[in-house]
Amino acid sequence: MALSDGLDRPLLAGFGEPGRAVPEAGALRPAPDMSALAGGTGRIATRLVVHCPGFEPLDAGAHRARYQRAARQSAAVHGLAIEVGPLEKIGSAGAFTVTCRNPEGAGPAGETTSSRIVLIDHASLVAALTRRPLAVRLASGALSALRVVGEGGLAGYLRHGWRFALFFLFPFLMVGLMLGGAGLGAALPLILGLSPLHLIWSLPAAVLLFTRLLLPLGNRFHCLLLFADWQMAVAIARQDRPAINEWLTASLETMRQAIDEAGAVDEIVVSGHSMGASIAAMLLGSLIERDAALLEGRRVTMVTLGSAILQCALLRSASLLRADVGRIARFPGLRWIDVQCLTDPIHFYKAPVVALCGHPDSPPAAILQLRLKQVLSPERYRRIRLSFLRVHRQYVLGPDRPARFDFTLLTAGPSPAASLLDR
C-alpha cells in the first residue's frame, strides 16, 4: 500500500508518474520558526553538501578529482589546510569528505570544518545520449531543437537572456552549415554539369568530408555534446523518458539517505551548476513536496551556479519543474543564492528565476554577481575569456586570488553558505 503525504498522491511516486501534482501557491505545510537559522553568522563545524554538476561526460571520480584540484588552489589562496577524502558510494551517487582547518589554529575541534559532499552526477545519462550512432544523434538533437522552439523556449530565451538564445542556436547552426557544405560537395558534379555517374565518388567523398574533417572541427566546440544537452533539457522539462525519470527517482532517494545519515549537521547545502541547477531544483522541490519534515528546523541553503533552470522551465511542458521552484522559494527558512557572472553567456544574467517560473509573489532567489577579473589572474582571464564553455565551468574551479565567491569555501569552508550575501 502506497504511503500518502496528504495531497492524494503516493509519497514515493517516481518522476514522470501521474502521482506528481502541481500544487496551488501556498500549499506547503507550515514550518517552525526558523529565525535563529536564517542568518549567515556562526562557524560551521559539520556540513552536508548535495551537489549536482553540469552536463559533462564526467563521473563522480572525475568530479572529485576536479574538486581536489580546485581545493588545492583555494587552500593556497586563503592559507588554509584542506584535505579531500577518498570517493565512497552512497545510494546511486558518489561521496567524499572534506576537512578544512586554519593551520594557525590547528587543534581545537571548533577550528575544523568537516563537510560531506554527495555528487549527484549524471554521467550515465550523458553516456547513453552520446554513444548512439551519429545519424541518430544528429536527428535526435534536431528534433529536440524543434521541440524547444515549438514549446516557446527560444522565444523565452530571446526575451529573458538573448545570449542564451545564441548559445541554443550555435550548435545547430554550425552543424547545419557543415551538412550544407558536405551536401554542396556531394552535388558538385551536377553543379558543374557533369554526368550523374560522378555521384558515385562525390557522395562518399562528401560523407568523408563531413565525418572526418568538418565534424571533428565542430566537436572542438562540443557541438554533438550540446545536441545531447538539449535532448536532456527537453526530457527534464517533459519528464517523459523512463530512463531519466528512474535516475531522478534514484537520485531523490540518495538525497534522502544522505540527509538521514548526516544527522544534526550545522548546515545543508544543495548546489547545482548549469543544467545541474535544474536537477537540484527538481530533487529539492520533490523532497519538500514529499518529506518536508526532513528539512524542518535545519539550516538549508540552495546555491545555483550559472543556473540553466530557465533552459528547461521556459518550455511550456515544464510545469513540474516550475512547481518545484515555487516550493523551494516558499519553504520557510530556506535561503536561495543564485550566483551569476556577466562574462558567462550560458545562463540568464539578472533574470528573476522564481518570478519567471510563475511565482512572482514568492521570495526571490538572492542574486550574487561574480566578476571573473576579481577571481582569476590577468593572464588566465585573457586566456579563457573567449572560451564560453571554459568560462561557464569557472564557478566550480579554483581561484587565483581571494574573491567574494569561492566554490571550495562555499562547500567546505568554516562560514555558512548564506554568509556569501554578507560579503
C-alpha cell at 34: 526558523
Q: With contact defined as beta carbons under 8 Å apart, do 331 and 362 qualify? A: no
270 vs 268: CA distance, rounded Å: 7
The DSSP output letter for 6 is S
303 vs 106: CA distance, rounded Å: 29
Nearest Cα neighbor of 29 from 313, 264, 294, 262 is 294
151 vs 400: CA distance, rounded Å: 42
Q: What are phi and psi of 266, to 5 degrees?
A: -70, -25
Q: With contact defined as beta carbons under 8 Å apart, do 80 and 399 qualify? A: no
Nearest Cα neighbor of 347 from 413, 295, 275 is 275
Q: With contact defined as beta carbons under 8 Å apart, do 411 and 49 qualify? A: yes
CATH of the structural domain 47-125+232-422, one choice from 1.10.3470, 3.30.1360, 3.40.50, 3.30.460: 3.40.50
pTM of the model: 0.88
Q: Where are the domains of the chain?
A: 47-125+232-422, 131-222
Each residue's pLDDT, cut to its tens digit, for the chain (423 residues) gives 232 222 233 333 566 654 555 444 434 433 333 333 334 457 899 999 999 999 999 999 999 999 999 999 999 999 999 999 999 999 999 999 999 997 765 444 447 999 999 999 999 999 999 999 999 999 999 999 999 999 999 999 999 999 999 999 999 999 999 999 999 999 999 999 999 999 999 999 999 999 999 999 888 899 999 999 999 999 999 999 999 999 999 999 999 999 999 989 999 999 999 999 999 999 999 999 999 999 999 999 999 999 999 999 999 999 999 999 999 999 999 999 999 999 999 999 999 999 999 999 999 999 999 999 999 999 999 999 889 999 999 999 999 999 889 999 999 999 999 988 876
Q: What share of the chain is helix, strand, coil (3-state, %, to 5)?
A: 50, 15, 35
